[in-house]
Amino acid sequence: MPENALSEADGQALLATITARLPQLLDDIEQIVTCESPSSDLAAVARSAETVAYVGQARLRAEPESLVIDGCTHLRWRFGSAGTRVLLLGHHDTVWPVGSLDVHPFSDENGVLRGPGCLDMKTGLVMAFHTLAALGVPSGVSLLVTGDEELGSPTSRALIEAEAAGCEAVLVLEAAAGGMLKLERKGRAHYTVRIAGRAAHAGLEPEVGVNAAIELAHQVLAVAAIADAEAGTTVTPCVLTAGTSANTVPESAAFAVDVRAWSLAELDRVDGAIRGLRPRVPGARVTVTGGIDRPPLEGAASAGLFAMAAEIARTIGIEPLRGASVGGGSDGNLTAALGIPTLDGLGAVGDGAHAAHEHVLLAELPGRITLLALLLKRLLGEEGGSTEPPEVTATAGGPAS
């Protein structure tokens, strides 16, 4: 470790130092938030990657690797030559289209920071930069910043899994809504159910048609019935389409299905049930595409790291540190599924991800950066400790997106 790396006993001093650097933190956040980066706009994501790289290089004194996969730009910093022991994981893409700043401008009003993507999760990236800088950029750490998390990580999944392989821990810089770390996340699956029928004139001879809309109605009800409220498994029919004109028996129809579950066993059960759908209207055909795209982040993956973080939090006055179980997924789901201890929600404290009231509470940043720095230091071995999960009781919140 570098000579200027801080020990856990220096937590209060680090807290004071980071507090004094809030203006610098705010400047860095503004630079990144005001460079818009909707996931589906690859040119915007590329511009954002340049801005993130610029800010990161200024704090870390190191250029990242720019990894472009199928046109999407990801960034990676690796520190030390002995391999990665801890992976810091984040993303710079957002759900906000270009032009959102005109409606939701960047602002800081009485310590409440607003702007598209400020909470999810551009402030988390700045936190990672300042954490590593405070530790003197310790050896054995990788920082991976992806550009397509909001799309389900189609181009970055293999990159994430490869970077995490062999790591002792993964720390995810997603937001801490309400201050709570994410101890469990539901796994997710997406499907499209398509129905093929036969067109006919709705007034002259509807009986010779095969009505895809009626078949769709049967299938929507069948799919919704697969859900299990007691297990917390949701199976939600979403976008529906059918037909082409108001006087024609629809020859085709389709609907999307969103699935969330706490366990892989439940995702597998739902997968089998959806693939087993059979037509009810004579002559109709049903096809299903899609599948499981994020396994769950189960509690066993986060318990040990959360206990460690809670112990550290007590030394810097963040007490009690709370955890939540949430319905939304993140890239932490992918690393937890590899059997790697993973703790999520180590980013900014605030609320309103993906919503007009998205905001970050600036006063919480120094404490959270200090927590992340001391947790990272502990994991790298100077303070000892283990990520084996002890018996620990976390405060679990209700499902959220």
Q: What's residue 396's pLDDT?
A: 31
Measured CA to CA, the distance from residue 395 to residue 290 in angstroms comes to 34
Q: What is the CATH number of the domain that holds 99?
A: 3.40.630.10
Domain boundary among 294, 319, 344: 294
Residues 6+ apart with CB under 8 A from 120: 94, 95, 174, 175, 353, 354, 358
User: Within a domain: residue 135?
Assistant: yes
Q: Please indicate, yes or no, if residue 148 is contained in any of the structural domains.
A: yes
Residue at 400 is within a domain: no
In one-letter notation, the amino acid at residue 221 is L
* Backbone φ and ψ of 349, nearest 5°: -95, 130
pLDDT for res 81? 83
Q: Specify which residues 360 forms β-bridges with.
A: 113, 350
**CA–CA separation, 271 and 301 (whole Å):** 24
361 and 241 housed in the same domain: no
pLDDT at 99 over 70: yes
H or E element that contains 235: strand 234-242
Q: Residue 8: pLDDT band by 50, 70, 90 thresholds?
A: low
Angle at 191 between CA 100 and CA 155, to 5 degrees: 55
- Quick count: other Cβ atoms within 10 Å of Cβ 32? 23
For 47, residues 6+ apart whose C-beta sits below 8 A from its C-beta are 35, 37
CB 1 within 8 A of CB 380: yes
- DSSP state, 142? E
Residues 34 and 181 in one domain: yes
Examine residue 391 and state whether it is found in any structural domain, yes or no. Answer: no
Same domain (yes/no): 325, 209: no
Name the 3-class secondary structure at 90.
strand
For residues 182 and 321, membership in a common domain is answered with: yes
Whether the predicted pLDDT of 171 surpasses 70:
yes
Mean model confidence pLDDT for the chain: 92
User: Quick one: DSSP state of residue 314?
Assistant: H
Q: How many folded domains does the chain comprise?
A: 2
Largest distance between two CA atoms of the chain: 86
Residues 220 and 346 in one domain: no
- Taking only the tens place, the pLDDT of each residue in 194-249 is 999 999 999 999 999 999 999 999 999 999 999 999 999 999 999 999 999 999 99
CATH code of residue 280: 3.30.70.360
CA neighbours closer than 13 Å in the CB half-sphere of residue 172? 32
Q: Is the pLDDT of residue 318 over 70?
A: yes
Q: Which of 249, 267, 294 is the last residue of a domain?
A: 294
**Domain for residue 173, yes or no?**
yes
| Residue 27 reports pLDDT greater than 50 | yes
* pLDDT range class, residue 6, cuts 50, 70, 90: very low
Domain assignment present for residue 119? The answer is yes
pLDDT in the model for residue 387:
38
Whether residues 198 and 115 share a domain: the answer is no
DSSP classification of residue 224: H
99 and 60 housed in the same domain: yes
**Do the Cβ atoms of 235 and 222 come closer than 8 Å?**
no
| 327 CA to centre of own chain | 11
Residue 254's closest CA among 207, 219, 202, 206? 219
**Do 119 and 232 fall within a single domain?**
no
Residue range 254-292, pLDDT digits in tens? 999 999 999 999 999 999 999 999 999 999 999 999 999
Looking at the fold, whether 251 and 138 belong to one and the same domain comes out as: no
34 contacts 107 by C-beta, under 8 angstroms? no
In this predicted structure, the answer to whether residue 386 has a pLDDT above a threshold of 50 is no
| Cis check: omega of the bond before 180, within 30 degrees of 0 | no
Cα separation, 237 vs 309, in Å, equals 39
Residue 398: inside a domain: no
pLDDT tens digits for range 211-225: 999 999 999 999 999
In sequence order, what E strands does 34-111 have? 65-69, 72-79, 86-91, 107-109
Q: Tell which of 294, 312, 342 closes a domain.
A: 294
Measured CA to CA, the distance from residue 15 to residue 2 in angstroms comes to 19
d(CA 139, CA 83): 8
Expressed as residue numbers, the domain containing 272 is 187-294
Cβ atoms within 10 Å, residue 184: 25
401 falls within a domain: no
Structural contact between residues 288 and 257, judged by C-beta atoms closer than 8 angstroms: no
